A = this chain, B = another copy of it.
Amino acid sequence: MEWTTNAAGRRVPNEIEGKILTPFAGPHADPRGNAFRQVRLNTRPVAERGKPDKRVRGWNDLLDRLDIRDGATISFHHHLREGDAIVLEVVRRLAERGIRDLTLAPSALFSVHDALLPYIRDGVITGIQGSMNGTVGDACSHGLMPKTCILRSHGGRQRAIQEGDLEIDAAFIAAPCADAFGNANGLGGKSACGPLGYPKPDSEHARRVVVITDCLVPYPCAPWAISGSNVDFVLEVESIGDPAKIASGTTRLTRSPTQLRIADLTARFIEAAGLMREGFSFQSGAGGISLAATVFLAERMRRAHVHASFAHGGATKVLVDLLNEGLLGSIIDLQSFDLDAVRSCRENPRHIASDPYISYGPRSAYCVANMLDVAILGATEIDIGFNVNVVTHSDGILRHGIGGHSDAAACASCTIITAPSFRKRIPVIRDRVTTVTCPGEVVDVLITERGIAINPRREDLRERAARAGLPLVDIEQLHAEVLQITGRPELPRFKDRIAALIEWRDGSIIDVVREVE
């Protein structure tokens, strides 16, 4: 195996499993990129005349018609989150048919999918591309996946599907509301989830596209987040998931003093740094710190009579309330986290459903993330070069997908990482992150409970924050301080074998994840 040290300072192989790899060359270098490229699109032969019969009689009829073979790649979206019942159903039924060696290409997995483990052990699933979470990531790290897995951001996944790096044999699209032609959205039905944009690339490029719904409505189902023009088969089932777990986001404010302190500093920083201007825009998340930061920021906006043009990313009741209050001009929503967000997406024209091409597409003519004044993101680790890890814990084990993290970080005008300086006596701030998912060049600010560290590249932000009297810290000093509390952490012990590649959004390799001992 030949290796190269890439622009993130990581050793990456030049080739794996017969596939040539391109080393990461910088966040905007795009070493594989070119304009006006040939891509694979699932264009079909001209259809016969009259109405199609896309309805299948049941699971068996569907799987007979799909003709999935050993070694196939099948894809899923994660709009149903912890409520999803389709991933497991499909894998179980394929396993019963004796199918083996599948590659799964989910846009994300949740802990409900920990139940995939037996199928990984049995060789039904032998690879994952796209996202690995929880037990599945753990299995990959422990060498249970014979194929080298690939982790991609939401934008990177869209690009990989569009450009044929990720060829999908069958896309299974769970749809809360659909017609028999395959037009589908997430706005209606008992399993309503809000936007249904993540499977859009799958619907446009997979060899076969299936819509599975528990709410079949008369044609035409509109708006069509997924167009039936891209759908081959429609399966009606009793239930695609557990509604109580689909839109289950909580908007209760965190009680953790550490999280509240970080959230408060974040809101103060955004105002002090001059980012909170009339018409500004932000992306936050649905985690504890993010929600609290949004609430605190809104309070500052109210006081200063400042309105945001839009918020981007996952939508929550917190954002919906701001939209209704008039503090937000619109929400550009990739995923609704709670029922208030689902309802708002259905009823409010200023609550706009998006998709990964428009929100994060690396090969689009800029994306929504480029329009962000500020992105507030998390990390499992961050190092003194501001490089960020979101996929492995410090034990080296895969536990999370990348999500939109590197897309938002790479595109937003100001990227803020919020994180406690240590968790369970393990430092979050490191010499060197265990895995690089996002290069320090696009990380401007780290906000911890022990103060704010600003990337030396952003002297402008440092000056403004200093003038406002915010508690600034040097990241190396912060690192030293934290080590005094936690002690020097034990480093994970890796085997030689590469369990997974971390792809940067442009398709280059930013790091590898090795099998743990």
Instruction: Given A51-B371, A228-B365, check contact A35 B41 (CB 8 Å).
Output: no
Name the distance in Å between A41's Cβ and chain B's nearest Cβ: 5
A332 engages B231 (CB within 8 Å): no
Instruction: Given A38-B38, A219-B309, A442-B49, check contact A44 B363 (CB 8 Å).
Output: yes
A49 engages B28 (CB within 8 Å): yes
A242 at interface, CB cutoff 8 A: no
Q: Please, what's the 1-or-0 string for A385-403, where 1 marks a CB less than 8 Å from any CB in chain B? A: 0000000000000000000
A366 engages B228 (CB within 8 Å): yes
Binds B, one of A122-130, A134-142, A350-358: A350-358
Contacts of A29 in B (CB 8 A): 46
A43 engages B37 (CB within 8 Å): yes
Instruction: Given A40-B38, A357-B229, A365-B232, check contact A370 B218 (CB 8 Å).
Output: no
- Tell me which of A35, A357, A370 has the highest count of chain B C-beta atoms within 10 A of its own C-beta: A370
A220 engages B42 (CB within 8 Å): no
Q: How many residues of A contact B (CB 8 A)?
A: 72
A9 at interface, CB cutoff 8 A: no
Q: When the two chains form the complex, which single residue of B35, B358, B413 contacts A42, counting CB atoms closer than 8 Å?
A: B35
A98 at interface, CB cutoff 8 A: no
Question: Which residue on chain B has the smallest CB distance to residue A413?
Answer: B50
Instruction: Given A181-B371, A365-B231, check contact A41 B37 (CB 8 Å).
Output: yes
Contacts of A42 in B (CB 8 A): 35-36
Contacts of A52 in B (CB 8 A): 365-366, 370
Name the distance in Å between A491's Cβ and chain B's nearest Cβ: 32
Interface residues of A in 406-426 (CB under 8 A from B): 410-413
A45 engages B34 (CB within 8 Å): yes
Complex Cα–Cα for A247 and B149 (A)? 54
Name the distance in Å between A125's Cβ and chain B's nearest Cβ: 24
Task: Please report whether the interface of chain A is mostly helix, strand, loop or mixed according to DSSP.
Answer: loop
Contacts of A366 in B (CB 8 A): 47, 51-52, 54, 181, 228-229
Name the distance in Å between A175's Cβ and chain B's nearest Cβ: 15
Question: Which residue on chain B has the smallest CB distance to residue A159?
Answer: B43
Interface residues of A in 195-235 (CB under 8 A from B): 207, 209, 218-220, 222-224, 227-232
A77 at interface, CB cutoff 8 A: no
Instruction: Given A330-B220, A349-B222, A367-B229, check contact A43 B36 (CB 8 Å).
Output: yes
Name the distance in Å between A156's Cβ and chain B's nearest Cβ: 11
Contacts of A51 in B (CB 8 A): 366, 370-371, 413
A43 engages B49 (CB within 8 Å): no
Question: Which residue on chain B has the smallest CB distance to residue A34?
Answer: B45
Instruction: Given A220-B330, A220-B332, A365-B231, check contact A28 B43 (CB 8 Å).
Output: no
A218 engages B37 (CB within 8 Å): no
Complex Cα–Cα for A51 and B44 (A)? 37
Name the distance in Å between A194's Cβ and chain B's nearest Cβ: 15
Interface residues of A in 118-167 (CB under 8 A from B): 159, 162-163
A33 at interface, CB cutoff 8 A: yes
Contacts of A364 in B (CB 8 A): 44, 47, 227, 229-230
Contacts of A27 in B (CB 8 A): 49
Instruction: Given A39-B38, A42-B35, A220-B352, check contact A230 B182 (CB 8 Å).
Output: no
A45 engages B35 (CB within 8 Å): yes
Instruction: Given A181-B366, A209-B365, check contact A28 B41 (CB 8 Å).
Output: no
Q: List 29 A-B contacts (CB under 8 A).
A: A28-B46, A28-B48, A28-B49, A29-B46, A33-B45, A35-B44, A38-B38, A39-B41, A43-B159, A43-B163, A44-B363, A46-B363, A46-B505, A47-B366, A47-B367, A49-B370, A50-B412, A51-B413, A52-B366, A181-B366, A218-B329, A219-B310, A220-B332, A220-B371, A222-B352, A228-B365, A229-B365, A229-B367, A230-B365
Contacts from A to B (Cβ < 8 Å): 27-30, 33-52, 54, 159, 162-163, 181-182, 207, 209, 218-220, 222-224, 227-232, 279, 309-310, 329-330, 332, 349-350, 352, 357-358, 361-368, 370-371, 410-413, 442, 505-506
A-B contacts besides A34-B43, A50-B413, A219-B371, 18 pairs, CB < 8 Å: A28-B47, A34-B45, A36-B42, A36-B43, A47-B366, A47-B370, A49-B370, A51-B413, A54-B365, A218-B329, A220-B309, A220-B352, A222-B350, A227-B358, A229-B361, A229-B367, A229-B368, A230-B364
